[in-house]
Structures are given as structure tokens and as C-alpha cells.
């Protein structure tokens, strides 16, 4: 079973700055089947990135994903006020599907 570890747990930044979120897997993620989600309080997660680097429909280009194997990164350039939220990575290449524990991007 693949376990995903996200870091840091909390990222305190100001609007306009860039955010770099990390997701590390205990085993190679098959076919780079790695997704990133944004979640705001009381809301369902929203898909941002799939296949490690492909933006989902309607996602602004300030969100970008990279990585392969066991290490993946979500970068948010020029943080907008609506970007402050929780972010989760998910691997879907092997069963059981797994999520990371999340990174909270908060306003500094």
C-alpha cells in the first residue's frame, strides 16, 4: 500500500507570493497517476491537477504540477486570495487509492 506524505503541514504566505507544496510516496506512483485537489472549509475537494502535471478543466495556469516516481510538487505562482485553502495529493495508480494528509496554505 502506497503512503503519501505532504509537506509542509502549513504554509504561511502573502497574496502575490508563490507556494511550493511537496508530496512524497513510499513507492513509485504508477504511470505518474498523481492528482492534486484544493479544498475549502465545508466544501468538497476540487480537482486541480491530474497525471502529475495536467491541469483540470477551468484551472488557472498559476497552478502547475511536476514530478515523477516518488516525488511530486504543486506550485501556485502569484497567490490570489481565493487560493488560501487545504491541498491534498492523491495517487490513483494502485489500489487502495491514497490521499496525503494535506497542506494548509494560510494567509500570513
Least CB distance from residue 107 to other proteins, whole Å?
A: 19
Closest by CA to 60, choosing from 40, 75, 39, 73, is 75
Residues 91/29, Cβ–Cβ less than 8 Å: yes
Residue 8 preceded by cis peptide, ω within 30: yes
* For other proteins, the closer CB: 18 or 66: 66
How many other CB atoms are there within 10 angstroms of residue 91's CB atom?
A: 27
- Residue 9 as a binder of other proteins (CB under 8 A): the answer is no
What would the x/- binding string for other proteins be over residues 27 to 66, using CB under 8 A?
Answer: ------x-x-x------xxxx--xx----xx---------
- Residue 70 as a binder of other proteins (CB under 8 A): the answer is no
For 92, residues 6+ apart whose C-beta sits below 8 A from its C-beta are 33, 34, 35
- Residue 25 as a binder of other proteins (CB under 8 A): the answer is no
Q: Which residues bind other proteins (CB under 8 A)?
A: 33, 35, 37, 44-47, 50-51, 56-57, 88, 90, 92-102
Amino acid at each position: 500500500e502506497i503512503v503519501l506524505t505532504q509537506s509542509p503541514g502549513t504554509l504561511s504566505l502573502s497574496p502575490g507570493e508563490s507556494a511550493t507544496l511537496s508530496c512524497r510516496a513510499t513507492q513509485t506512483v504508477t504511470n505518474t497517476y498523481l492528482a492534486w485537489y484544493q479544498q475549502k472549509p465545508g466544501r468538497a475537494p476540487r480537482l486541480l491537477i491530474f497525471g502529475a502535471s495536467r491541469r483540470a478543466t477551468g484551472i488557472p495556469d498559476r497552478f502547475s504540477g511536476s514530478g515523477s516516481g516518488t516525488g511530486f510538487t504543486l506550485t501556485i505562482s502569484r497567490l490570489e486570495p481565493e487560493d488560501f485553502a487545504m491541498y491534498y495529493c492523491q495517487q490513483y495508480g494502485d489500489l487502495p487509492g491514497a490521499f496525503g494528509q494535506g497542506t494548509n496554505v494560510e494567509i500570513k
